Amino acid sequence: MKILIPLFMILAFSGSIFNLTQVNWTEPLVGKSSVAVIGVMASASAFLLLLILSLSIRVSKKLKKH
């Protein structure tokens, strides 16, 4: 779990960077560009959820110490 969460965070971040390169910025919601925008939002959501999970694990470890 110690290595898995940061690995997934790196994968989610790299997925969002990749999808950002696929977006057609003149018409971002047309054709394949809309799929890339959805991919960016999904990757960003996954990254935020993993960040919340890692923070909650840290808090629970600190609470168990006291």
Q: Would you say 2 and 50 are in contact if contact means Cβ atoms under 8 Å apart?
A: no
Q: How many whole angstroms separate alpha carbon 54 and alpha carbon 30?
A: 36
* Cα angle, residue 47 at apex, residues 46 and 52 outer, rounded to 5°: 95
Q: How many whole angstroms separate alpha carbon 37 and alpha carbon 40?
A: 5
Would the pLDDT of 66 be above 80?
no
pLDDT digits over 9-48, tens only? 999 999 999 999 999 999 999 999 999 999 999 999 999 9
Q: Would you say 16 and 50 are in contact if contact means Cβ atoms under 8 Å apart?
A: no
Would the pLDDT of 2 be above 90?
no
Q: How many whole angstroms separate alpha carbon 43 and alpha carbon 17?
A: 9
Amino acid sitting at position 41: M
- Which band of pLDDT confidence, cut at 50, 70 and 90, is reported for residue 1? confident
Q: What is the mean pLDDT of residues 45-56?
A: 97
